[in-house]
A and B are shown apart, each in its own frame.
Chain A
């Protein structure tokens, strides 16, 4: 059983560009959350999707948007990239009240 898979693992973008990161949750998990982890910092909650709707959102600007598909996979989109968006983006999946599983993350560098 594959756990949480994320793609791409590494990418480099230029300021002002847009990026899409993808996440496939662990089999059977219906809830997907996205986190941003800057170098040397703890992860920060971006948003959470459940049943194809954004259920919760952290303190991130509207440049950060997402989507969940009927198969529970999810995308994170970031528009108008800034240098400060350079970070590890982590996807986590779960069933409510159960252990949370994390992907390996997508390393985004904005130059």
Chain B
């Protein structure tokens, strides 16, 4: 069993839909990261969370430390949101352990 599990693996949505991607982890963490990776390969950090909730534009990330669970929400989705979204955690050391990613396709 992976230390970081994401669901769903693949997600197709229509433009304007509200999207939720879930992440569960089984290890102690110091922070959880939501990352975005486009087909070209580069990764962009969206959020780093250690508690509570963060919002940036149409993106919202929440974390429940007791339940070891985090969600990434995208409101009013747009085709430019199409990418792979990756949940990753840092433990007592600062290396990242990645989930397998959620491939999101937003259609017109």
**Does chain A bind chain B?**
yes
Interface size on B, residues (CB 8 A): 21
Q: Is the CB of A56 within 8 A of B86?
A: no
Q: Which of B31, B33, B93, B94 has the most CB of A within 10 A?
A: B94
The chain A residue with its CB closest to the CB of B86 is A42
Taking the complex as formed, is A94 at the interface, i.e. its CB lies under 8 A from any CB of chain B? yes
Q: Is the CB of A56 within 8 A of B41?
A: no
Chain A positions 63 through 81: 1 when the CB is less than 8 Å from some CB of chain B, otherwise 0: 0000000000000000000
Majority SS at the chain A contact face: strand
For the complex of A and B, 4 pairs with smallest distance between CB atoms:
A102-B43, A42-B98, A104-B42, A105-B41
Instruction: Give me the interface of A with B, judged by CB distance under 8 Å.
Output: 31, 33, 35, 37, 41-45, 48, 55-56, 58, 88, 90, 92, 94, 96-105, 107
Given A31-B94, A56-B93, A103-B42, 7 more A-B residue pairs with CB atoms under 8 Å apart are: A42-B101, A44-B98, A58-B95, A97-B30, A98-B48, A100-B33, A105-B42
